[in-house]
Structure 1
């Protein structure tokens, strides 16, 4: 045996974590940029929400491209 895992759920878990991390990275970057621009708290929240939406759309697009 090579010691490699053949459990497909382990691969799915890692891929799901990577997808969630990607969306969070894009979303938090929008909020961070808004904080750097001294925006109001509402604007920071809106920038984070829009960033999360953009991250989700980017993830969907990349997934669509690779299928």
Structure 2
């Protein structure tokens, strides 16, 4: 996985407290980025579903005369 390999290459061998903290911080950053990515993906799916539902609604079809296809 790209993020993990990036972290492994960035982190120096853990030989002191500062290195250990940096290593931990990098892994925490990866975890946060994954959560953000999942959040965006979920919202994107919800948005697409909402748009599909709107395009099927009869009121929109009657206003425009044609049903938009998504």
Same-fold status (TM-score > 0.5): no
Tell me the TM-score normalized by structure 2. 0.43
Larger Cα Rg: Structure 1 or Structure 2? 2
Tell me the TM-score normalized by structure 1. 0.44
